Amino acid sequence: MENITYYIVIAIILLAMETLYLPIARKVGIGDPVTPRSSHKVYTLTGGGFIFFIGAIICTLWFHEVTSTTMPKLLICGGALFLLSFIDDYREISPGFRLTIHAAIVTYTFYPVILNGHLDIFLILLLCSVGFINGFNFMDGINGMMALYSIVTLTTLYYMYDTSVHIGYFTSLQPLIITFIIAALVLCIFNYRKNALVFPGDVGSIVLGYFIAYFIAHYIITTAEASVIIILIIYAIDSALTIIQRLFMGEDIFTPHRRHLYQRMVDVWHIEHRLVSLYYAAAQAVINVGYFLTSPEYRWSYTIIVTMIVATAYFLMKRSIPNNA
């Protein structure tokens, strides 16, 4: 009963805070103007994803079991990213400085792995986590993309935690995952629209990306089941292959662009934002369900096969769109 009360209260609080944020952001001028690199056509407020970090704070104060885990460290790191990203939403920060801070925060999060003598694992975590955090941020410019994809990812993570034989290692973080799901649903009210009222902004996508990266890394370290990376494969393929494409084209990968497949679907094929977001989230949901329906001894095979299929589909769809379109 306490949990149900909390989830109702947190939904009301986050909805109220998001509603109050809009006139403040409009008055201060925290918005995303239309540029040649934008997929949106009108000036749109940004920074609405601040409710994810606020939700994390409230969840920590409410649940003792959350407070007693590594949550203090996660809040420190999330808070640092929150401040950095909020500033970046208001006044742009150089990509190099952002990446340096992200790497330092990830290092602080996972340094116990080094102390345990696993420098190789730490370096993989560092590279993948920093890459994922920044890749997750790319979804911000399409209405509903980050919110819907986050709901699928977080719901899958909750299921993974709840059904694991190591559930004792995960129970304390489950309220936090549900809190983030509620925050994503609240964000959908304002963002999953034909004309979005507000974008999540770096303050939402970077912070949530950090927590999701931690949730997945925590699961892999605890269970030694790395094939669960499949639960992010749709967007991982899009991000990784888009970077490779830009490198081959001689472009600066740190500058804004519109070469992601979902951006091309909106800009070239003129598919409505919400449909593109729904396609990405639905495709990932189907893959996730297939993964958990697969017998554990075949999950790596499933992951490899699905990755090849998704990469091939991405390549063929991208090939059908001229680079100068």
Arithmetic mean of pLDDT, 4-31: 92
Q: Which range has the worst mean pLDDT, 51-55, 150-154, 256-260? A: 256-260
Question: Is residue 167's pLDDT more than 90?
Answer: no
Q: Compute the distance between CA of residue 267 and CA of residue 265 in angstroms, rounded to an integer.
A: 6
Q: Where are the domains of the chain?
A: 2-226
Question: Is residue 314's pLDDT more than 60?
Answer: yes
Determine what percent of the chain is predicted with pLDDT higher than 70.
93
**What's the confidence (pLDDT) of residue 38?**
57
Question: Is residue 170's pLDDT more than 60?
Answer: yes
Question: Is residue 319's pLDDT more than 90?
Answer: no
Question: Is residue 117's pLDDT more than 90?
Answer: no
Arithmetic mean of pLDDT, 250-276: 85
Closest among 84, 110, 113, 87 to 99, alpha carbons compared: 84
Q: Compute the distance between CA of residue 253 and CA of residue 103 in angstroms, rounded to an integer.
A: 18
Determine what percent of the chain is predicted with pLDDT higher than 90.
50
Q: Which range has the worst mean pLDDT, 100-114, 250-264, 285-299? A: 250-264
DSSP type of residue 198: B
**What's the confidence (pLDDT) of residue 165?**
75
Q: Which range has the worst mean pLDDT, 33-37, 70-74, 205-209, 282-286? A: 33-37
| Contact predicate 139/205, CB 8 Å | yes
Question: Is residue 325's pLDDT more than 70?
Answer: no
pTM: 0.92
**What's the confidence (pLDDT) of residue 114?**
74
DSSP type of residue 45: E
Question: Is residue 199's pLDDT more than 60?
Answer: yes
Torsion angle of alpha carbons 135, 178, 282, 265, nearest 10°?
Answer: -40
Q: Compute the distance between CA of residue 34 and CA of residue 216 in angstroms, rounded to an integer.
A: 35
Arithmetic mean of pLDDT, 147-175: 89
Under the banding of pLDDT at 50, 70 and 90, the label for residue 36 is low
| Contact predicate 89/46, CB 8 Å | yes
Q: DSSP assignment of 131-179, as one string? A: HHHHHHHGGGGSTTHHHHHHHHHHHHHHHHHHH-TTGGGTGGGHHHHHH
**What's the confidence (pLDDT) of residue 129?**
87
**What's the confidence (pLDDT) of residue 296?**
92
Closest among 93, 98, 210, 209 to 145, alpha carbons compared: 209
Arithmetic mean of pLDDT, 294-306: 95
